[in-house]
Amino acid sequence: MIPSLPHLKESPSQTAGPYVHIGLIPHQAGFDIFAKNFSNVLVGPDTVGERIRIEGRILDGSGAPARDILVEIWQANAAGRYNHPADRQEDKPIDPSFRGWGRTGTDFETGLYTFETVKPGSVIGRKGHRPMAPHVNIWLAARGINIGLSTRLYFSDEAEANAQDPVLNIIEPRERRETLIARREERRGEVVYVFDIRLQGDRETVFFDI
């Protein structure tokens, strides 16, 4: 008799609900409880790389900004290496001052989210594919979202790398690729990438089944 492999089924997802902040961003819920908090600031004084701000709004199917969304990002460091044991790109340094992960909530009034981070370097692609263009992985959870949504942010000033990116290149029609490109702006010497996410409808953002 052939023994069957143990195989469990993934726990089903449920919405994070309107009060997700209590657990994940308690100060936004209106109270202080933990000695150390996670935040939307990924950089410290020793972090290597070009400082950037990422900001945007998340719009629902009526075009209204969603003001209660949890936003998390995961990215490589300025050299293009993830701070994780599975990343064995030995030719690139790990930056001990950069975990590469942050979280925030869209503002209850304006619907704006922001991150303070560094611009990531290019990461190797899958075997046999080109390197991936610099990108930031984004994950959204909220009231009304039954299972977390995954997308990627690419940079408008990396047109050449974007044109070669193995992920952008599989998206058809080509117009949809534009929904993943953040627009570079400079404000008083600060580099800002504006990245609005449209959950539904006109110019709907590409979401991935990863």
Touching another protein, residues 37-56 (CB under 8 A) = none
Contact (Cβ atoms closer than 8 angstroms) between residue 140 and residue 197: yes
The residue count for binding another protein (CB under 8 A) is 83
121 binds another protein (CB under 8 A): no
Hey, what are 153's tokens?
């942010």
Please identify which residue in 65, 100, 105, 134 interacts with another protein, judged by CB under 8 A: 100
209 binds another protein (CB under 8 A): yes
Q: Is the previous residue joined to 134 through a cis bond, with omega within 30 degrees of 0?
A: no
Is residue 152 a contact residue for another protein (CB under 8 A)?
yes
CA 125 – CA 82 distance, rounded (Å): 13
110 binds another protein (CB under 8 A): no
Tell which positions 122-151 bind another protein, by CB under 8 A.
123-127, 132, 135, 137, 139, 141-150
At position 30, the amino acid (one-letter code) is G
Residues 182 to 201: which contact another protein by CB under 8 A? 199-201
* Interatomic CA distance for residues 147 and 16, integer angstroms: 9
- Binding to another protein by residue 92, rule CB under 8 A? no
Binding of another protein at residue 15 (CB under 8 A)?
yes
Number of CB atoms found within 10 A of residue 202's CB? 8
The pair of structure tokens assigned to 139 is: 């994950």
State which residue, 86 or 187, has the beta carbon closest to another protein.
86
